[in-house]
Amino acid sequence: MKIGLFYGSETGNTEMNVKRVQDGLNAKFPDLVELHDIRKVPASKLTEYKKLIVGCPTWNVGELQSDWADKYEDLDEVNLAGIQVAMLGVGDQSGYPNNFCDAIGLLGLKFEERGAELVAFTDASPYDFDESMGADDGMFLGLALDEDNEPDKSEDRIAEWIEILTEDFALG
Ligand SMILES: Cc1cc2nc3c(=O)[nH]c(=O)nc-3n(C[C@H](O)[C@H](O)[C@H](O)COP(=O)(O)O)c2cc1C
């Protein structure tokens, strides 16, 4: 069963990192992950998969990236019951410490509202921020990356997340 990886990206940071996730998973499980730029596909495409990875940076102080913002209302028309979703957020913890990776929560909770189960949470304690809609009880509701301040950590964070995805998606 394929995994659909849907992303939006303004300046390329999320695009670069979702491709790392795709490459990492496909190295373990050939051809598993199919990549889609959400700008180019309808929201209904999400329902073609039982397992989703969703990449979204946070923009304009606590808002969704523009392509996800454009699709946000369409999500009310899709039924995501029985679908597992792993959220990948990209943000700037120093520049926006009160809104770090808010999009993980903004979008993730919308997916949950539509019936999806969020998986592949990660420890938020190694990061330095004050508030995030994407974190609950010390855990991000997915993976947070910071290309502005910690670009050298992204590859290791993704490698660790791939282990978590393998378990939570029961891929092994
Ligand atoms: C005007 C502006 C607003 C931003 N707002 C936030 C924010 O609220 N929270 C956050 O974590 N990052 C914020 N960022 C940082 C971006 O999310 C970050 O640079 C990210 O890597 C961009 O990803 P992309 O290249 O995939 O679009 C903001 C950046 C800019 C320039």
Distance 68 CA to ligand 1 centre (A): 14
pLDDT at 31: 97
User: Does the Cβ of 78 fall within 6 Å of ligand 1?
Assistant: no
- Strands (DSSP E) contained in the chain are 3-7, 33-37, 51-59, 63-64, 84-90, 117-119, 122-123, 135-136, 139-140, 142-145
pLDDT at 172: 80
Give domain limits for the chain: 3-168
Query: Cβ(135)–Cβ(105) under 8 Å?
Result: yes
pLDDT at 71: 98
Instruction: Please give the Cα distance from 139 to 128 (Å, whole number).
Output: 13
pLDDT at 155: 98
User: Does the Cβ of 13 fall within 6 Å of ligand 1?
Assistant: yes
pLDDT at 49: 98
Which tens digits make up the pLDDT trace of 145-159?
999 999 999 999 999
- The segments of the chain whose pLDDT lies below 50 read none
Enter the DSSP assignment of 9. Answer: -
Which tens digits make up the pLDDT trace of 115-146?
999 999 999 999 999 999 999 999 999 999 99
Q: Which ligand 1 atom is at minimum distance from the Cα of 146?
A: 21
Q: Quick one: which of 134, 135, 65, 59 has its CA closest to 104?
A: 134
User: Does the Cβ of 101 fall within 6 Å of ligand 1?
Assistant: yes
User: Does the Cβ of 100 fall within 6 Å of ligand 1?
Assistant: yes
pLDDT at 50: 98
How distant, in Å, are the alpha carbons of 26, 27, 28, 58, 112 from that of 104?
Answer: 23, 26, 26, 8, 12
How distant, in Å, are the alpha carbons of 31, 62, 95, 116 from that of 18?
Answer: 15, 21, 22, 20
Nearest Cα residue to atom 1 of ligand 1: 60
Domain at 3-168: CATH architecture: 3-Layer(aba) Sandwich (3.40)
Mutate to test the pocket of ligand 1, among 11, 20, 59 (most ligand atoms within 8 A of CB): 59
